[in-house]
Each structure stands twice: as C-alpha cells, then as structure tokens.
Structure 1
C-alpha cells in the first residue's frame, strides 16, 4: 500500500519509546505532530510494549512532556495479560519490573502454574532468571508468557536489552515456546483496531522497531511506517523480510505524510 495514496486513513497507532520519547525527553517535533493529528480528527492509540511502568504512570509522564493524551489512549500488554490470567485461572510467577507489580495485586500468585516475563530491567539477575527456569522445568505442561518480544530498546543511556533476549534464554533452557502478549502478535493490533472502530486498511502504525512495529502491523493489513529515531539502525531499511511502506526521519515527518495522504 502506498501511504501517499490512501485518503481513507483515519486511524493512527503510535509506538511510545523511540517515537514519542527517548528516555525522559520528548523527541523533537513529536508533541506538535500528535497535536496536528488530533486536530485533523484522526483516531490515535499509543500501542506500546512498555512494561516498566503502569499505564497511568506512562500517561502522566507523557502529559508532563506536553502530549495531549490520556490513560485510555494507551494500549499495553499488562491489562490484556491480566484478563487472560483471570479467564484461564492461571497463577503466575512474576519476573517483571517492580513498578508494575501493583497491576497484579488482584491475581493469585500462590503455587504458580505459569511464568510471566516483562521488561524487568535490573530485576533480570541470574538468581531471578534461574528461579523462573526452575519453576518452568518442573511443570508438567510449562507455560511461559512474555510481554513483548523486543530484542532491545533505546533509552537515555543508549540501546538496552529488552525482554525478548531473556525470553529466548528461558525458552531454550526449559524447552518451552513462549506465548507473546503485545507486539508483534496479530491479536494485539486487531483488538486495538476494533476498539478504535477502524479497519486495517484505514490505519497506519508508526514505530522505530522494524519487526514488532512495522512488520507486525503490516501482517494485519495496516500501513507500516518506520522512523529514524529511537532504536532505529540503518540496517533496518534493508531487512530481509520486512519492507516499510515509508521510512521517515521522525514522527513530525510521518504526520505530514499522513495528513497529505488524506487530501
């Protein structure tokens, strides 16, 4: 699909880290870009695999940076996973960031029958990983849930290992296939579009991850735009299987393309 020839675009999905902000700083031009998209009447969702903070804390941080967003605009893996755990009567062993533990307060965690992995950051110690491995390897039918599968992300200190690297380690050690909650899983995109009331061909995803953001969105029929901010690497433009519909310098550039395509 040619982004510049799609006047039906009326839904915009935006990654957060690497598109709206880098660490605690708003990426230049992105605040105004979001305002322009909103003023044009476009439906917007912030689709993120962020699992170091709650949705409320993330919304507050974005508001402080000047973004016209609210908690309901944010789509993240934790709420979806918690609903699934409750439906399936699953009791998780959690290896997640301390900041998101309050999200799981109502979930029975005794005698765990599954393991949940999020972006635990400094909690990714050998001791904690080995504890999760021990639980998995002793289950008759081990279940491992990973809140995303990113390899790395961009922070103020540079590129940082993401949850996908630690998920792969546990998959290999315990001989189990992780169930991914978040990008690039199709259901994550489809449920977002359903909530927005937008068809795939009417939506565009803007992200800095060529596989999880762009590839995941394209697999569901959305237009996928890659930004050269955040964790973007020049090699992303030559990815062997994912070919973005557009590659732009930043969200400001992407917003201009989106608005021009609707004229």
Structure 2
C-alpha cells in the first residue's frame, strides 16, 4: 500500500511551530484483542518530543474520559500527558455547565464520570458520543422525545464522522446517528469535536499558535484534513486507519500532502527544520 509522500507541506517546517495529531487510526487502532500500535507511531511521537515540537492530540474518541484515554496511550508505550489530549467529553461538559443544560446522554459507560457533576433530571438537551451498542431504538427514541418536548431543544454530537475502522472493519461513527435525530426532529446538531472549527481553534488557543503555524495530521480526510483546512490549518492525510485508496484523490478535499504513516510525516517534517 505504501506510495511515498505527496505534496510539499513539510518544506515550510521552519515556519511551523506545532502539530495537531489524530489518535485513533494514526497512533493506534483496535484489533480483535484490543488496541494495536500502528508501526512507527511511538517512535514518531518520541522524535517530536525530543525535538521540542509542541503537539496536541485532537481526537473524536468519546468512549473514554481524558484520563482513560491517557492511560491507554501510556500503556501502549506513548510518552504523552493528559494536558496534550483534546477529546470531546471535557469540552462538552464545559458547554453544558456554561449553558445550564441538563443532558440526556447516549454515551459509553466509561465516559459517564465526565458528566457526574452535571444535573441530568428533566433533560433539556441530548448529547451523543461514540455509544456503539448503546445506540438502541429505545435510547434513540427517548432522545427524539426529549428534543420534541423542550421549548429550546439542543442536540450535541461529539464529532461528525461517518465511520471508523475497528478490527479491520468499518463501523458507523456518531455522525449518522446525529443525522437521524436531525432528520426526525428538525433540529441541527452542534458538533463539538472534529470537523468543528471551534474544536480546532480551541486546541490552537491552548498552544498559543495561529492557524498558519500548525499542521494537522490525520486519517479521516473529511473530519481531520477537511476540518483543519476549513480553519486555515494545513492538513496531511496518513495512509493508515480508515484511509482507503479511493480517498486519493478525494472528490471534495485536497490534502496538503499524503504520507504512508505518522513516522514518515515526522521524519519529513524534522528533516526540513
């Protein structure tokens, strides 16, 4: 499958101050027996740290708390800290508190502690995460009823992806379930996660960098690459994770570059600094 790098995004590496990296499909993916490191990704992250390159890991993974996600990465051998991780649940929790929203949650059990201090009786909004087997008819129908019963209904989705890869198979992401509720209720979902501009800019704000000083590297050509480019951030597509040959070229998104994997991207980037 290796094709080698495409594009010259890395030639401006001296003027690039930091990187945004996706996690799932770039650092690791889930195999039949659990998380599996994508070859070269641990070395790539270490090289960036050794070179002093600021990194934020922007992910739509909403199956774990921030601490739970950090534990997975540390257990796999990645040298990362919680402060570098940008998953949707903490951002959603902040929004709910700021707007006094009481959510009806369709999320995985592991992420429920993120919302433990938020009132959930008489919900006035719906929050969808990577709920997988919890996207039952009863749960979706209850969410639909909540939206219809509220005078000012709010629908929040932790990401807008269509699908992801797990154990070699493509599986529905949260996006299609959000679209189903949009269709039924007539309410447009607020995306807190990729490809939301607000989500990308929050990561840049945390780094203190402008959009022209950062590169996003991900496996999702729409949410990672297209979302970043819509904010003025260069986007590079890796040929791992959910990448498929038909994505090259893509009908609606033209990445600033293609690379076989994260290690190839990091080596190109560091060689031109």
TM-score class, shorter: over 0.9
Return the offset for 1:139: 2.2
> How many aligned residue pairs are there?
262
Give 1:238's aligned residue.
249
Cα distance between partner residues in 2 of 1:247 and 1:157 = 21
Residues 1:5 and 2:11 are matched in the alignment: yes
Q: 1:261 deviation in Å?
A: 3.0
The answer to whether residue 32 in structure 2 is matched with residue 21 in structure 1 is no
The match for 2:138 among 113, 127, 131 is 127
- 1:14-53 CA-to-partner distances (Å, cap 9, x unmatched) read 1000000011011001000111111111001110011011
- Cα distance in structure 1, aligned partners of 2:115 and 2:150: 22
User: Does the aligned pair in 1 maintain the 2:11–2:269 contact within 8 Å?
Assistant: no
For 1:52, the equivalent position in structure 2 comes to 63
**Counterpart of 1:180?**
191
Question: Structure 2 stretches of 5 or more lacking a match?
Answer: 1-6
Deviation at 1:143? 1.1
- What's the CA shift for 1:259? 1.1
Instruction: Give the corresponding residue for 1:89.
Output: 100
Contiguous gaps of at least 5 residues in structure 1:
none
Alignment of 1:57-96 (within 5 A): 57-96=68-107
Aligned-partner Cα distance in 2 for 1:185–1:237: 23
Contact 1:3 1:261 in 2 (8 A): no
| Secondary structure of 1:61's aligned partner | helix
Q: For the Cα contact (< 8 Å) 1:19–1:251, is it kept in 2?
A: yes
- Normalising to structure 2: TM-score of the pair? 0.93
> SS state of the match for residue 236, structure 2?
strand
Q: Given that residues 90 and 112 in structure 1 are in contact (C-alpha distance below 8 angstroms), is that contact kept between their aligned partners in structure 2?
A: yes
Q: CA deviation at 1:141?
A: 2.5
- Whether 1:258 and 2:269 are equivalent positions in the alignment is yes
1:109-148 map, 5 Å:
109-148=120-159
Could you tell me how far apart the structure 2 residues matched to 1:231 and 1:107 are? 34
Cα deviation per residue 1:177-225 (whole Å; 9 max; x = unaligned)?
0011011111111111111122211111110000110011111121111
Q: Stretches of 4+ moved more than 4 A in 1?
A: none
Query: Per-residue CA shift, 1:85-107, capped at 9, x if unaligned?
Result: 11111111111111101110000
Aligned-residue RMSD, C-alpha: 1.2
Offset of residue 157 of structure 1 = 4.8
Whole-Å separation in 1 of the counterparts to 2:81 and 2:175: 28
User: 1:2 offset after TM fit, Å?
Assistant: 4.0
- Mapped to 1, the partners of 2:220 and 2:272 lie a distance apart of 23
Query: Is the counterpart of residue 159 in structure 1 residue 170 in structure 2?
Result: yes
